[in-house]
Structure 1
Amino acid sequence: MTRAAAVAPLNIAITTGEPAGVGPELTVAALAGAQAHWPGVNFTVLGDAALLEARAGAVGVEWAALLAAGHVSLGHRALSVPAHAGRLDAANGRYVLGLLDDAIDGALSGAFDAIVTAPLQKSTINDAGVPFTGHTEYLAERTHTARVVMMLAGTGPRPLRVALATTHLPLKDVPGALGIDSLVETIAIIHHDLQRDFGLPVPRILVTGLNPHAGENGYLGREEIDIITPALARAAERGIDARGPYPADTLFQPRYLDEADCVLAMFHDQGLPVLKYATFGEGVNITLGLPIVRTSVDHGTALDLAGTGRADAGSMIAAIDTAVTMARHRRAG
């Protein structure tokens, strides 16, 4: 590797998401101090030029000056129709999906070292005639990844990280979606990506049970006995430090979390209420298992705040920080 290649700046793409939501202005607000906050990193903002200039005004940022500083560039994609803050329009559904495609294509080609996604409105894309269930599923499909894992994380030296064995499923479907093989694969993805992307040489993963009191020795359900414990045994055979199953109602306390790098919860509302209570507004949504780095904010489009300048950019800043960290680890590896 040449010296020039070794010091080449990272290039992070940011999709600005739903144009009627807060994504465009949060992107601009987060990048206002890009040169000071992220030296050695360049950013490509994917979105409509006029929209970004207008929303920059809402957060008191001069868009032209931000571009002129040299660390931020524009990947322009024109809106299908003019966007109005707080008012969804299905005519812009394909524009939003196009931004995501631009980011994925650039990351797969090596033009981008990571992508950060602002929130989108799934209903707008579906109303535009495109079946769409979410960022995570679309990223898996576009990158031909058989299994991905959703992980949300806080910030700081010992951040709380919570990954999910199942994601957006009705609660009645969760038990049937759990299997030994799939759970082992999920644990292996978490272990691998915590090593590669976060520099944790021996990650410690704590795994919840599915049932109250982790099944109470089978009296409250057998998933812990028949699925989770055998999966943990197989993970151990692969050299993975994954422990449990723990009752979810008592796991989230310092005596356990202080020595953990990640908690694996069995379903969405088992793990994420705790994580979001602890970190909301500064949390990060991370997709593990992909061939590319992808992070996102921990909130939605906040249509009621769009265009007001009152939306908090904390989660976007944290998502960018995490993407930079992950990209640097991948490059070093």
Structure 2
Amino acid sequence: MFNKRQIGNTNLNVTELGFGAATLGNLYHVMSDENAQNSIAKAMELGLNQFDTAPYYGFGLSERRVGDALREYDSSDYIISTKVGRILEPCAKAEDKYGFCSPMPFEPKYDYSYDGIMRSFEHSLQRLGLSKIDILYMHDIGRVTHGDDHDRLFKIAMEGGYKAMDELRSQGLVSAIGLGVNEYEVCEQAMDHGYFDCFLLAGRYTLLEQKALESFLPRCLKENSSIVLGGPYNSGILATGVKRQGVTPNYNYEPASREIISLVSKFEDVCANYNVPLAAAALQFPLAHPSVVCVIPGLSSASRVETTVAQMQHVIPSEFWSELKTNGLLSLDAPVPSGK
């Protein structure tokens, strides 16, 4: 059984390992409904209680599958999060788009307005077929995502979208609100406009990246906003490593640069010295920071759930973390697991 940590000022307590359900939207390859159901059943069996999905993941497919699986359990046994910021509009032909091999005949359109957030929330409840949504994240707002259109969309999001999310929270229709993004800078920007219980931050506080320690994570501690750490493998490179034959490592959703490959190779050398799986170190490292309550890797099968649980429970000696810092591979300011 996993330890649980509290989300911000809420009454939500999440297990330190959660279930990222983008894969259940047929991300990069087709998954059967049965495999999706079995993956969630195995996660529940092994004690995970947090499941994260989004309308964007398979254009509704992930939400449908997550809801179908969790409907078999008591609602008090799980915490479900989904996202707003896109409306799924019907399209004439379902295609493989944005990496999702989904049969769902919809096209996602950004909408961060008050009405757009309310519509998205209602649509998600219908797709999930569940009685509740615990955590609602505003999805993929930020300059990296929207480029020159960021300022316009951010204004709409804070004036309209945040108002809608805050109303849903104050009415008890959701227990927590936050952002689900790939860049911490927009989280800091949003914190100037309102209170967010938590942030689902993908890939920006990992073995490879600790710049968020400079200002964002300290601010989260000060304001009691929790971090749910998505993408702990930085798009896979910290799961596969770089030394396997025939494996093309990815970092930030694209082939890794030589610099990143060289850096990961150095991590693998230290891992080999201590017989520590790289993936285990990647999962356990972020949780040492007091603002991080959970890591949620993408889990694509029941066997992957079992493997990931084993990696979370792998005992890593304190000397391992010390050597990473001595070799300049981790920030000296980064908290590390206590070790054994």
TM range (shorter): 0.3 to 0.5
Give the structure-2-normalised TM-score. 0.34
Greater relative contact order (Cα < 8 A, sep 6+)? 1
Structure number, greater radius of gyration: 1
Give the structure-1-normalised TM-score. 0.35
